[in-house]
Structure 1
Amino acid sequence: MNKKAIFFTVLGNALEWIDFASYAYFATIIAHQFFPTQDRSTALISTFAVFGVGLIARPLGAVFFGRLGDVHGRKAALMLAMPMMGLGTLLIGLMPTYEQVGIAAPICLVICRLLQGFSAGGEAGNAITFLIEWAPPKRRALYACLQQASGVFGTVFGSAVAAMLSTTMSHDALESFGWRILFLVGGAVIAPVAFYLRAKIDETPAFLAHQHIAPVKQKQRSTSTISVWLACFRAIGMTMVWIASYYVFLSYLPAFLSTHAQIPSSVALWVNTAGLLTMATSIVLSAAISDVIGRKPLLIAVALAFIVLPYPLFTFFLSGASAPLMVISLIVVGALVGVFAGVFPATMAEMFPTRLRSGSVSLAFGLATAVFGGFGSLISEALIKFTGSHLSPSYYVIFSALISLPIILSLKETAHQPLK
């Protein structure tokens, strides 16, 4: 086992997600800077639409980088993805506002988010595949979960820095230049460091061994490809509750609390940071448990929880609850989301053969994130606008859980089976 390869991959993934997540935490400020309008809700919807556009590019990146990882190796794909993410992030930090260049500002913002999304599409599937192929047979979930855990730690760092800036800077300073700091650091400092680290990792033994295996018959390949596509659709359906719950509760919620629950943005960001920290811990613990008892019991429990809890939680958020109580509620949510994030990366990777694993995991995860996560904030804000109910984001999470649960129930347990 190459510990250096594991460590540098995990660290690089964390650094990349600092860049990608920064946008969500400054969404309300970006709305003012790039979508000037008297209707705050419309501006916020526009901002989240651009956030969703970034995630639409993920399936395209998943196809490109996934194929690259299956043909030329996981390391090559991971190295190429990093500078693309850094460039998109740096350009957002340098971009002029609507007041300065007019309609060109939101157009350029969309282009940068597409670049970020394309890069992120290649990151997740290749990192999961890389980690699980280095893992000992009885610890696959624990190793694969490091992709999610490191991503959450990167997101936590971004959330904490955003909260710190919101707390220590005046409103005018934050609106003027403060929101750009995280983007500039991410693009100019974090991305080059992550690229340097990834240049030092080794390719996985499974991929190297696969390169020396004689080609199988075309008929066998065709049959295998059909089964892989079916597995992709199942993986997308199972992932729906995980992606929707994460993006609604741990990405969209700070904007929801500050806009609709009249909670100061700094408080909302600190509350969100607590949920993300709990999620990171839960990811590792649940992955270790699933290596012992299997994947299905934990996945079923989380899907059931997200059928029952979202409506009461949003009712609670709007009730004027104190910050400590909101922190407790986000700790519970973060723990639940973390269970799914800890177990499902290994579950997904175990569904596919080595020759197609990187591309299949990238595509399934990228599509699910684009459809159910990228537009989770947009759907939530649009539901509030068109229904008039501030509780309507909870319906989206409940609906996703109702879709995922029966697919999870039909899942074949893979925890104690060898990789294909």
Structure 2
Amino acid sequence: MDYSATPQPAGTDTLNLADASSMQPAKRTSHAKAIAAITLGNGLEFFDFTIYSFFATIIGKLYFPVEGQLAQLMLAAGTFGVGFIMRPVGGIILGAYADRAGRKAAMSLTLWMMTLGSAIIAFAPTYAAIGIAAPMLIILARLIQGFALGGEVGASTSLLLEYGSDKTRGFYGSWQFVSQGLNTVCGSLLGVALAAGLSTAALESWGWRVPFVIGMAMGPIGIYIRRHLNETLPGVEDGTVSAAQAPDAQPVRKLFREHSRVITTGVLTTIGGTAANYIVLFYLSTYAIRILHLPMSSALWAAWTAAIVTVICSPIAGSLSDRVGRKRVLWISRVMLIVAVYPAFMIINASPTVPVLLSVVAVLAVFVAFTAVPNIVMLPELFPRKIRATGMSIVYCLGVSIFGGFAQFFATWLIQISGSNLAPAWYLIGCGVVSLLPLPFMRETAGKAID
């Protein structure tokens, strides 16, 4: 089965007039299959990586036996963030590999590494069984997964954009964020089913391991699906490449030497979107359990609601950014998010019920989709094809590593030192304001040739 036709370079919207009638329908169909293949593989990796956050409270109890539930949650959330430390390293190494060996080769490698990380978590003995070695195994698994995702995002997002044209890159790139939402839907539904169907003892004994076993088993499926994609880096698969198209031998050195300004502005812009993404999509379910004292089975619906909203809104946000520009969509939606987040936290604390929580999460998720999609689409557009995966990986991972990966830790820590349940809102507002500062200095990429 062939999942994709040979992709056109960005900006080539026209076909030979003699063949247009016969080729155009097949081209649309094959590109739709290509998007599905890239999205599914990426979703499998994020399923493995983010399911950890849904069971952070249980993992904290089993692997970090310190006094106090809040302290356990901070250690579990901190371990979640440890995986993000390796993202820039993975972004540099695997991003450079994607720019030399091709997008497909890099994405297959990252899937194997994610499978390994999930297997370690799925079968790691608890602290009661092996002592300090137990949390060390969890940390090792998170480091492996973080390294893998550091390269995955750059390679898969670059591939999505390179299948699009100057007029459709926003829509194509939006499926990167759709894949993250889809994995969250699957993860949260599975979490709800396990929490509702198992006793507390069974859930803490073996039930929480089930999602990691599933993620481990699905790795080979993603690899099989992706092997049918066509490569978009010229000359990688057929060996016919000109000197002008040849992959750069030192993409990292060239990136920092010639594009340092783009890296700086890209990282700063990413801070606001990634902080909002990880707080709204992942942290609010934990917040509902520990801070609002809602039942686990009910609170996990918050993650499901946020994911469904982002899945629906992301392609709309991508298409809108193709029409009116990435910067305009990003600016308006991020300002609206900054204005809305503090009242949102006030509302759910004043009325800590499931319907109120889900309503607030749904509204915030709309803003998150419209601010995150143009951001993640714009980043790879700022770099030429030969170093695009490396550039995208480094910029995105540097922004995500601290302000996204440790968002849950920072939010919990701020609650502890301030004594205010509204502290996570302060974190989002601060990150959002900082992320707007470099936007006027970034060039608009919508509708313009990038190669």
2:225 to 197, 210, 213: 197
Task: State the Cα distance separating 1:193 from its structure 2 match.
Answer: 0.6
State how 1:302-381 maps to structure 2 within 5 Å.
Answer: 302-381=333-412
2:176 to 126, 130, 147: 147
Contact 2:302 2:357 in 1 (8 A): yes
Q: For residue 110 of structure 1, what is the aligned residue in structure 2?
A: 139
- Report the Cα distance in structure 2 between the residues aligned to 1:327 and 1:11, rounded to whole angstroms: 26
Segment drifting more, 308-317 vs 110-119:
308-317
1:233 partnered with 2:244: no
Contact 1:210 1:354 in 2 (8 A): no
Q: For residue 291 of structure 1, what is the aligned residue in structure 2?
A: 322
The 3 A distance-change label for structure 1 pair 223 and 252 is closer
Secondary structure, in 3 states, of the residue corresponding to 1:412?
A: coil
- Report the Cα distance in structure 1 between the residues aligned to 2:38 and 2:272, rounded to whole angstroms: 27
Contact 2:331 2:371 in 1 (8 A): no
Task: State the Cα distance separating 1:210 from its structure 2 match.
Answer: 10
1:125 to 154, 177, 190: 154
Task: State the Cα distance separating 1:411 from its structure 2 match.
Answer: 2.4
Aligned partner letter, 1:358: A
- Report the Cα distance in structure 1 between the residues aligned to 2:385 and 2:345, rounded to whole angstroms: 42
The 3 A distance-change label for structure 1 pair 206 and 346 is farther
Contact 2:174 2:317 in 1 (8 A): no
The 3 A distance-change label for structure 1 pair 65 and 205 is closer
Q: For residue 5 of structure 1, what is the aligned residue in structure 2?
A: 34
Task: Note the alpha carbon deviations across 1:2-44, whole angstroms, 9 max, x for none.
Answer: 5343332111111111111110000000011101122111111
Aligned partner letter, 2:384: P
- Report the Cα distance in structure 2 between the residues aligned to 1:223 and 1:53, rounded to whole angstroms: 29
- Report the Cα distance in structure 2 between the residues aligned to 1:86 and 1:419, rounded to whole angstroms: 34
Q: For residue 14 of structure 1, what is the aligned residue in structure 2?
A: 43
Segment drifting more, 335-344 vs 200-209:
200-209
Contact 1:58 1:370 in 2 (8 A): yes
State how 1:152-231 maps to structure 2 within 5 Å.
Answer: 152-187=181-216, 189-204=217-232, 211-214=241-244, 225-231=256-262
Segment drifting more, 9-18 vs 375-384:
9-18
Gaps of 5+ in 2: 1-6, 8-29
Contact 1:27 1:44 in 2 (8 A): yes
Task: State the Cα distance separating 1:115 from its structure 2 match.
Answer: 0.6
Contact 2:104 2:231 in 1 (8 A): yes
Aligned partner letter, 1:84: M
Aligned partner letter, 1:137: D
Contact 1:139 1:291 in 2 (8 A): yes
Contact 2:64 2:76 in 1 (8 A): yes
The 3 A distance-change label for structure 1 pair 207 and 324 is farther
The 3 A distance-change label for structure 1 pair 224 and 67 is closer
1:266 partnered with 2:293: no
Contact 1:74 1:204 in 2 (8 A): yes
- Report the Cα distance in structure 2 between the residues aligned to 1:303 and 1:409, rounded to whole angstroms: 14
1:392 partnered with 2:392: no
Task: Note the alpha carbon deviations across 1:306-329, whole angstroms, 9 max, x for none.
Answer: 321221111112113432222111
State how 1:52-71 maps to structure 2 within 5 Å.
Answer: 52-71=81-100
Task: State the Cα distance separating 1:91 from its structure 2 match.
Answer: 1.3
Task: State the Cα distance separating 1:224 from its structure 2 match.
Answer: 7.3
1:33 to 53, 62, 87: 62
Segment drifting more, 51-60 vs 342-351:
342-351
Task: Note the alpha carbon deviations across 1:151-209, whole angstroms, 9 max, x for none.
Answer: 2201221111112211221111111111000001111x211111111222210165769
Q: For residue 104 of structure 2, what is the aligned residue in structure 1?
A: 75
- Report the Cα distance in structure 2 between the residues aligned to 1:274 and 1:251, rounded to whole angstroms: 11
The 3 A distance-change label for structure 1 pair 25 and 214 is same
- Report the Cα distance in structure 2 between the residues aligned to 1:250 and 1:164, rounded to whole angstroms: 18
- Report the Cα distance in structure 1 between the residues aligned to 2:75 and 2:314, rounded to whole angstroms: 32
Segment drifting more, 200-209 vs 135-144:
200-209
**TM-score normalised according to structure 2 size:** 0.88
Q: For residue 99 of structure 1, what is the aligned residue in structure 2?
A: 128
% of aligned pairs identical? Answer: 32
The 3 A distance-change label for structure 1 pair 141 and 269 is same
Task: State the Cα distance separating 1:226 from its structure 2 match.
Answer: 3.5
Contact 2:337 2:368 in 1 (8 A): no
Aligned partner letter, 1:346: V
Contact 1:278 1:331 in 2 (8 A): yes
Secondary structure, in 3 states, of the residue corresponding to 1:203?
A: coil
Contact 2:168 2:319 in 1 (8 A): yes
The 3 A distance-change label for structure 1 pair 205 and 226 is closer
- Report the Cα distance in structure 2 between the residues aligned to 1:79 and 1:407, rounded to whole angstroms: 34
1:135 partnered with 2:164: yes
Contact 1:246 1:337 in 2 (8 A): yes
- Report the Cα distance in structure 1 between the residues aligned to 2:134 and 2:393, rounded to whole angstroms: 31
Aligned partner letter, 2:323: V
The structure with more helix, counted as a fraction of residues: 1
Aligned partner letter, 1:214: A
Contact 2:81 2:405 in 1 (8 A): yes
Task: State the Cα distance separating 1:215 from its structure 2 match.
Answer: 7.9
The 3 A distance-change label for structure 1 pair 70 and 222 is closer
- Report the Cα distance in structure 1 between the residues aligned to 2:361 and 2:240, rounded to whole angstroms: 43
- Report the Cα distance in structure 1 between the residues aligned to 2:260 and 2:379, rounded to whole angstroms: 13
Task: Note the alpha carbon deviations across 1:23-70, whole angstroms, 9 max, x for none.
Answer: 000000001110112211111110011101011111111011100011
Secondary structure, in 3 states, of the residue corresponding to 1:185?
A: helix
Contact 2:337 2:364 in 1 (8 A): no
